[in-house]
Amino acid sequence: MTDTVDARPLAPVLMIVGTCSNAGKSTMVAALCRIFRQEGWSVAPFKAQNMSNNAGVTADGSEIGRAQMLQARAAGVHPTVQMNPILLKPVTDVGSQVVLLGKAVVTEDARAYYRRTEALWPVVSGALDDLRREYDIVIAEGAGSPAEINLRERDLVNMRIAVHARAVTLLVGDIERGGVFAALYGTHALLQPDERTLIRGFIINRFRGDVTLVDPGPALLEELTGVPTLGVVPWLRDLLLPEEDALGVPPDARWIPDALKVAVICLPHLANFDDIDPLRQIAGVHTQFVTTVAHAGEPDLIVIPGSKATIPDLEWMRERGFVTWIQEQARAGVPIVGLCGGLQMLGTHVADPLELESPQCDAEGIGLLPLSTVMHAAKTVRRNALRVQADHGLLAGTQHLALHGYEIHAGISTPDHSDVVHIDALRADEHDPSHGVLGLLSESGTVFGTYLHGLFGNADFTAILLGNVARMRGRAPLPPAAPHRGIDDELDRLAAHIRTHVDVARIIAWVSASRVSAAS
């Protein structure tokens, strides 16, 4: 198949599908993007349809899944909307906001969305082929399982993509869940014959223990299917890469004694939770996502993260006793930070007159910051650089520091009164006051909220803020920061791990043969 506009053949596609959600597909794609880049190929990641409230912002102010942002970084290229043409951001148990080519277009339930799939196919296939014209290889990721026979007719992201591109396709199974051979065999068996022929290899992921104990499973599986197992990948401990969706949020666990305790409220519609990742890497700090007040214990810092459904999540917090508990903690002087939706909740009132996120049009806020929020149909989606203005409380010593991150929010928050000099904590170099506040600090200095995602990724700022928390809580100063393992270091580590345990040479040979075939 060749492009009708120019003579360059469309690049080959390597596709990674999985036996289930959270089998490690996103991480495998990131590893392979880095490996092919190391081999001298120009590489682009692709996921036709992603369902996640973990979104990132491209240079042109478009939304795509955070996983594709990370995979683009692994490939050494700038992320674009073609890498994730459809992003579904769950708002309710049955409905999602549809982000098409980077822009939110509608919020609807699953049945309404499924009626769109045929109309969306040209968008998806067109985005993939655009990437194939620009790069040497596209590494595509499926979603969930390709063998969901109830969804076959509406498939936009799994084997329909593989068949369209005649992709070299690998099936990943998660042995951590148990039953990996049944899952691989059953997935392979449930595919259509033309789909099954595209499956070139199996990968068994997340093994713990003596790898020889897997034998003779791979050989028996190959006898049954004709498909070789390319590798058994041991669990890679302490891999510091962001998760694709909330399935990767760690469960409640016991607090570590003597650590600076950071309690993050695990909201039902938790969004952009990778904001918390930098805190989890700091020595002397124990960060926990908490689902109950009882588990929250006596933290030194409370973080209310982003939310895709601010009012429903605020009401969930109220029903669970979190609102009262947070108010009590604030009166006791416990520092509190709100990020995006968390900022909105910390105010006095949240209104959603257009019912963009739920049928509930308004809600009383937690009341710790003097601001009100109104949801608007037009979303703010942009990368941003801010500067700290405040110099007391949590932000003491941070004045004039530059902060880098991004914004994704529908709400505009404005102060409840005009006297905001003492609480207007952050300022952009060019800020339109009609866009509302970017960050507020309470008069006491113990409650801070901001719309800036990626806040804790600003290492100097975070070190000072946590030092202020330790001082406020009577804790010993945190130990000196250890050398930070950056994202690119982790991607290189991941790529080396996959090279060690997977037959990468065979994968490269298959893709190279596909490349030659397309050119002939």
Active site residue 392: no
Give the list of residues 6+ apart from residue 309 with CB closer than 8 angstroms, or none.
Answer: 91, 92, 268, 269, 357, 358
Strand partners, 290: 265
Long-range CB contact pairs, 116-122, < 8 A, 24+? 117/154, 117/155, 117/156, 120/86, 120/156, 121/156, 121/160
Alpha-carbon Rg for the chain, nearest whole angstrom, is 24
- Which helix H or strand E contains 324, and what residues bound it? helix 322-331
- The residue whose two tokens read 């042995």 is 175
Alpha helices by DSSP H, listed for 359-477, are: 459-472
If you write DSSP's letter for every residue of 40-80 in order, what string do you get?
T--EEEE-SEEE-S-EEE-TTS-EEEHHHHHHHHHHTS---
Query: Parallel, antiparallel, or unpaired for β 86-90 and 349-351?
Result: unpaired
Active site residue 340: yes
Q: Of 431, 260, 439, which Cα lies nearest the Cα of 338?
A: 439
CB-based contacts of 509, cutoff 8 Å, min separation 6: none
Q: Which of 33, 340, 409, 501 is catalytic?
A: 340
What whole-number distance in Å separates Cα of residue 355 and Cα of residue 352? Answer: 5
Amino acid making up residue 305: P
Best CA proximity match to 393, nearest among 327, 478, 301? 301
Of the candidates 453, 484, 497, 501, the residue annotated as catalytic is 453
The count of C-alpha atoms lying within 13 angstroms of the C-alpha of 147, restricted to the half-sphere facing its C-beta, is 19
CB 434 within 8 A of CB 382: no
Q: Which residues form the catalytic set?
A: 340, 453
